[in-house]
Chains A and B, each alone.
Chain A
Amino acid sequence: MTEPRTFIGRGLPYVDIRDLRGRLIVIEGSDAVGRSTQIRLLRDWLEVEGLAAIETGWTRSPLVKDTINLAKEGHMMNVLTLNLLYATDFADRLEHEIIPALRAGFIVLSDRYVYTAFARAIVRGADPQWMREIFGFALQPDLVLYLKADAKTLFRRSLLSKGLDYWESGRDQNPGLDPYDSFLRYQTRLLREFDHLAKDYNFVVINARRSVNAVQKALRENVAAAIPSLKTSSMKLNANTPPTNTNVPMVPS
């Protein structure tokens, strides 16, 4: 570790983070930008190179996942409860997955991080300062890779992959608009917030309009630069990388 690990805000006073040897690498980006594909490829590559990696994703904690889904279905959310539930989910994964994995020397690939919560909350009218305060217990990542594409590209990919999602189209924000206009307006506002965050938190911006392989190459270059043990010689892309079972996160016990 080159720099001592820190929290982005007030932190967790009861947790010792001095011995977290692993690396925390965050992949941020809009909905449907291709994060999960890229993360799967990154993980395969790291494991082929002999480095242990785990994935963690937004709203996947067993503690509140069901509550968040339930609340979203019933739309019984307000800006406070939604953000507090996101914070709960994140804290749960941070303390039960991310920190133990880093302590065991794993590379943690985080599919989204607190920045997604910041961007969405600001678009929905939450106080940005409040958001940064409540998420102040988040660890400062070693690297934030931001996959960026324009709203129209996102729309096409979203439609072709899993169809338009109520929340990702910002339908709650734009009751009068049709799904296409609503999606563009909402995602454009999110992109603007991500641009601000990219400056504030030193994101590495990756152009995600390119092919899967081109994006992956750019990601690997940045990851290799952050992890000295990865040699550049190992960076050639193997298109036939066998997919690993990504449904089973390897959490060290």
Chain B
Amino acid sequence: MAGLYEQSPYPGKLIVVEGIDGSGKSTQAQLLQKWLASSGVSVFFTEWNSSPLVKAATKMGKKKDLLTPTTFSLLHATDFADRFVYQIVPPLKAGMVVIADRYVFTAFARDTARGVDPKWVREVYSFAVRPDVSFYFRVPIQVSIDRLMNARRKIKYYEAGMDLGLSRDVQESYYLFQNRVLDEYDKMSEEFAFHVTNAEEAIDIQQRQMRRNVETELSDYFVRYQLALRQEEEDTQELPAVEPATAGGDGGEMS
């Protein structure tokens, strides 16, 4: 299982946001992307569960309630492997920053909460690379439910862990199941060096903290990146140079 426990071999950088639904992680990830892009960094954004390869099978399995904890886990792993090979590794090799809205930790938390062996699921994903920075947006279950209800989003069958038969009531089942998921995230915080963020704080406060962490952890990369960028501009002087925009607002400076 070398991959997840060693530093990534690629020149690019991988930033991961994790947390249960309603933790606000996607909002934070998008704000981070805006900031990096406005600073002239080329950023690639990737989300969990979006590859066309296994969409049909996942959809069918979910509709017909066919999935067991193991097939649920393996289908998502297949989907991730596809995305990993085609969307995550290439930009990392090209020296870009990749922001992943959910990563393997989502699988570790959910699948273990469903009853698969925690070591097994780590082995399944052992081809993945370790992120350079991981953020975990920690939020109490009730806040997560309130936010989902506010957004009028219906809680889905597997999201609520209804397949485990914890309760017949969707909200109650969601509560029980996501509690297990939270436990798993907490247990992983140390194993994978998460930056734990209190997701009940104001959005801009969380974002400021996040940007500070990224700046510190990726400082070497940014120095190298800026140098490379300048070099490239010098090499292509005859072409219209694209000026990197300056970072605006509350974010820190990149250089």
Cβ-defined partner of A84 (8 Å) among B60, B61, B81, B126: B81
Cβ-defined partner of A95 (8 Å) among B61, B68, B84, B117: B68
User: Residue of A at shortest CB range from B116?
Assistant: A13
- A133 touching B127, Cβ below 8 Å: no
Give the dominant DSSP class at A's interface: helix
> Does residue A134 face the partner (Cβ distance < 8 Å to B)?
yes
User: Residue of A at shortest CB range from B54?
Assistant: A67
List residues of chain B with CB within 8 A of the CB of A66: 56-57
- A13-B116, A13-B117, A134-B123 are known contacts. Are A88 and B53 too (CB-CB below 8 A)? no
User: Residue of A at shortest CB range from B119?
Assistant: A10
- A92-B66, A96-B66, A136-B120 are known contacts. Are A80 and B74 too (CB-CB below 8 A)? no
> Does residue B50 face the partner (Cβ distance < 8 Å to A)?
no
A14→B57 CA distance, assembly (Å)? 23
A158 to chain B, nearest CB (A): 29
**Contacting residues of chain B (95-123) with chain A, CB-CB under 8 angstroms:** 115-117, 119-120, 123
- B124 touching A134, Cβ below 8 Å: yes
> Does residue A71 face the partner (Cβ distance < 8 Å to B)?
yes
User: Residue of B at shortest CB range from A61?
Assistant: B71
Cβ-defined partner of A81 (8 Å) among B60, B81, B124: B81
A179 to chain B, nearest CB (A): 28
- A13-B116, A14-B69 are known contacts. Are A133 and B85 too (CB-CB below 8 A)? no
> Does residue A39 face the partner (Cβ distance < 8 Å to B)?
no
> Does residue B159 face the partner (Cβ distance < 8 Å to A)?
no
- B123 touching A87, Cβ below 8 Å: no
> Does residue A64 face the partner (Cβ distance < 8 Å to B)?
yes
- A80-B85, A137-B70 are known contacts. Are A88 and B78 too (CB-CB below 8 A)? yes
**Contacting residues of chain A (153-202) with chain B, CB-CB under 8 angstroms:** none
* Given A10-B119, A81-B82, A91-B71, 7 new contacts (CB under 8 A): A63-B60, A81-B85, A84-B74, A88-B78, A91-B70, A92-B68, A95-B71
